[in-house]
Structure 1
Amino acid sequence: MVKDKFSADAYNEVGKNFLPGHLGIVIKKIAQREVQAELAVVPHLMAPNGFLHAGSVVTLADTCCGYGCVAHLPEGASGFTTIELKSNHLGTALEGVIQCEAKAVHLGKSTQVWDAVVSQNGKTLALFRCTQMVLFPK
């Protein structure tokens, strides 16, 4: 999937024609046990009530956690799938840019757990916990 597992540019290139690219998610940093990204708040990411759609926020967090999982797949793994995503939404954004920082909590051979915080200007908008199942070829 990604040749350089710690290159933000590589993940942005891979995702450009998929949901992360279509929404405008920009990976800023991928490092050991950490991923950072941002998303500009634009009209097509809003809900009909004028607030940022929760799905836009969830997609940002899930993308960060998923790319983190890819960067940390164990030897022999072929990929992963998200098996649980929990979100707590504490606020919203009407404009500007939101940021996400995901950190690994558990990097096992069969599962990974990542926590993510979505924020804007230091204000926490949402908290996430994602569990991924690591996949191996048959």
Structure 2
Amino acid sequence: MNLQALVKLVESGPLNEQQIAAINARITGMDATLGIRYTEIAKDGVSAELEIGPHMLQPFGLVNGGSYAALAESVGSFAGCLAAGAPVVGLSNTTHFLRPGTSGTIHAQARPVHLGKHVQMWEINCSVDGKLLAVTSLRTMVMV
């Protein structure tokens, strides 16, 4: 499914489980490498989850901060594309680490802060078991 078809589909409401499963089956690149699975896809935001594994840990057994930043950028950029109806690219990614993660499933939720014609701002919260671990401010540019 191309971006325009996906945008049109999302305009009628959040995607259902089958539609999300079809998107997850086609994941490539960084999302596939990390193991990101999208769980909610709607015009006003996107959510995903990521099982913490050994490939994400730094030498002291804590989740490497880059894992949160990459997850947030993927989720926020996907949400940005849907909101804009066009591709977006990251301008800045500021991830604040609030507490360490060592195991479990990271749940990331992207919500818009500002949706301008050319620039967007997204806030992405990453949590495990309801505990907030990291908050990302992602600024994207709409490619029109």
Give the shorter-chain TM-score range: 0.7 to 0.9
Structure with bigger helix share is 2
Looking at structure 2, the residues matched to 57 and 49 of structure 1 have their Cα atoms a distance apart, in angstroms, of 16
Cα shift at 1:35: 0.9
Match of 2:82 among 63, 71, 74: 71
* Residue-by-residue CA offset, 1:47-92 (whole Å, 9 max, x unaligned): 1221111111111111110000111115xx4x22100111110112
Which stretches in structure 1 are left out of the alignment for 5+ residues?
none
Partner residue in 2 for 1:55: 66
- Amino acid aligned to 1:88: H
Please name the residue that 2:107 is paired with.
99
Structure 1 ranges of 4+ moved more than 6 A: none
CA contact (8 A) 2:68 2:95 kept: no
Count of paired positions:
132
Does residue 1:89 correspond to 2:97, yes or no? yes
Give the C-alpha shift of residue 25 in structure 1: 0.6
Q: Distance in 2 between matches of 1:11 and 1:129?
A: 25
* Paired residue secondary structure (1:4): helix
Unpaired segments ≥5 residues, structure 2? none
1:1-138 map, 5 Å: 1-2=2-3, 3-5=5-7, 6=10, 7=15, 8-9=20-21, 11-14=23-26, 16-74=27-85, 77=86, 79-136=87-144
Distance in 2 between the 1:48 and 1:4 partners? 40
Give the deviation of 1:95 after TM superposition: 1.1
TM-score (norm 2): 0.84
Task: State the percentage of identical aligned residues.
Answer: 29
CA shift, 1:10, in A, is 5.0
CA RMSD of aligned residues (A): 1.5
- SS of the residue corresponding to residue 72 of structure 1 reads helix
CA distance in 1 between partners of 2:39 and 2:137 (Å): 20
Letter in 2 for 1:33: D
TM-score by length of 1: 0.87
CA distance in 2: counterparts of 1:90 and 1:19, whole angstroms: 24
Q: Aligned to 1:92, what secondary structure does the other structure show?
A: coil
